[in-house]
Structure 1
């Protein structure tokens, strides 16, 4: 009997709805149905009575539901105990971060974490959220600092940290470069360099939404995938870009970063940053880093 198939069955048995059960498990209903059929074939009995509108448990299904809960609880407890033992003996922590967090938050956090835990080595991986999240799910990362997805995976826990501030990257020779602040209206006719949406949806939508909320049309001149490439294109005087404030730490000759002026909450809640880790996992080293993060979060947020 496959434990994953058993988890699938238990979700359906508790929800009595394939769509809700699939959403709870973070999988497609068709894949969920396939696992249930395989379990029924393995056990040689029908567990669910299905119609086009309803799902009900058979007598065998009801019996298995009660047994499955206890069995899966035992399996989870056993796995957690061995993972915790393994991590308690570990001397390294694998942390992933998007580029702006790697430039801004991570140096602050690692400085404070090392003071408390000088014996722990931290392995860092900088990448996009869409590549970091699968690494968490596969166990290749212990913790990641990402843009939280619109539909988060049920197998991950997310802890919202703060919203990063936005600034405007302009060429130093640009007519706006001497300004102390810029508004969206100041950029109305400027060619814009924006991130590719598939890989950086939050950063891409930041520019589009700011212009839309100001009643303007964004004049997109260039799309680029990497933040450093965007800044280099600004330095080459191909346009201006709206980027997280921590991008300013990626020193690039010929670029000036100017605070974005906006009325009300116009420039707020566009660039959320969150910590993410595998749900239900027990990891003393990760929890120690999260504790340092929570203690100093207000100070970190002031610099975002």
Structure 2
């Protein structure tokens, strides 16, 4: 079984769209389809139900999804381990982070770490939570900064750090762009660009809940996979988006970020950020990183 076939299977399973999956893997759709067919032949079962409009996992596809994810993560871990050994005899602390944490938390944390522990070398991997957690379990990551899932794997320890503040991304020439803050009622009728719930459930649900709490229904105009894509769509005037404040560090022309006001400053207006690591493991470099984070948590949280 070829690891690339499993990667193709996972990308289609995550996007449920052969065209988007092929683009993400930088493959031709025909090549992607061939990889899936070879894998299905190897396993002697169909993995996807395909029509002209929809793609869905079969029962067999859903059953092997997490196992396939773990196999790919383990293969990547072995590859990274060998490359790391070739490169240097010094252990490298492998840190995973979701996009907003990679943009906001990590630059600050690494700056503090260089002062407190200059001997520690860090390798950063930016991915979604659904990809980071299997990599923790496979050993290819030492620690991850992510959104804790609703159902937590007992093999992983989660430490809540703080809540990221939500802001509204809107075109610079929008009538609300000069406001000091914006309420949900102000954007009640605005078309919205939201993350795909399969890959970013916390960010997607945040928008929906904010509108429901205000007695309104979110008017979803477009769904996008990545924060960069969402912000670029905002720049084109396709709609507005509710995103973590650290997303403002993504440099996109013609986009303004305005704080979102909430009744009583409810935590629903924020997104939880947690540190996660494999339960029962010992790692002095990871502990040093967590100590540095704890020492400087207030300063980092104030910017979130």
Normalization by structure 1: what TM-score? Answer: 0.70
Structure 2 CA distance, aligned partners of 1:266 and 1:241? 19
Post-superposition Cα deviations, 1:32-91, rounded to whole Å, max 9, x if no partner, equal xxxxxxxxxxxxxxxxxxxxxxxxxxxxxxxxxxxxxxxxxxxxxxxxxxxxxxxxx843
Q: Which residue of 1 aligns with 2:175?
A: 175
Structure 1 segments unaligned to the other structure (5+ residues): 1-88
- Residue 270 of structure 1 deviates from its aligned partner by 4.0
Structure 2 CA distance, aligned partners of 1:120 and 1:92? 7
Q: Which residue of 2 aligns with 1:287?
A: 287
Q: Does 1:191 align with 2:165?
A: no
- Residue 201 of structure 1 deviates from its aligned partner by 0.4
Q: Which residue of 2 aligns with 1:211?
A: 211
Give yes or no for contact 1:169–1:256 (8 Å, CA) kept in 2. yes
Q: Which residue of 1 aligns with 2:157?
A: 157
- Residue 266 of structure 1 deviates from its aligned partner by 3.6
Q: Which residue of 1 aligns with 2:50?
A: none
Structure 2 CA distance, aligned partners of 1:166 and 1:270? 5
Q: Which residue of 1 aligns with 2:48?
A: none
Q: Give the direction of change, closer, same or farther, for the CA distance of 1:263–1:275 in structure 2 (3 Å limit).
A: same
Structure 2 segments unaligned to the other structure (5+ residues): 1-88
Give yes or no for contact 1:104–1:246 (8 Å, CA) kept in 2. yes
- Residue 253 of structure 1 deviates from its aligned partner by 0.3
Give yes or no for contact 2:166–2:269 (8 Å, CA) kept in 1. no
Which has more radius of gyration? 1
Root mean square deviation, CA, Å: 1.6
Length, aligned pairs only: 218
Post-superposition Cα deviations, 1:199-243, rounded to whole Å, max 9, x if no partner, equal 000000010000000000100000001000000000000000000
Structure 2 CA distance, aligned partners of 1:190 and 1:210? 14
**What SS does the aligned partner of 1:291 have?**
helix
Runs of 4+ more than 3 Å apart: 265-270
Q: Which residue of 2 aligns with 1:111?
A: 111
Structure 1 CA distance, aligned partners of 2:172 and 2:97? 29
Structure 2 CA distance, aligned partners of 1:269 and 1:183? 11
Give yes or no for contact 1:202–1:270 (8 Å, CA) kept in 2. no
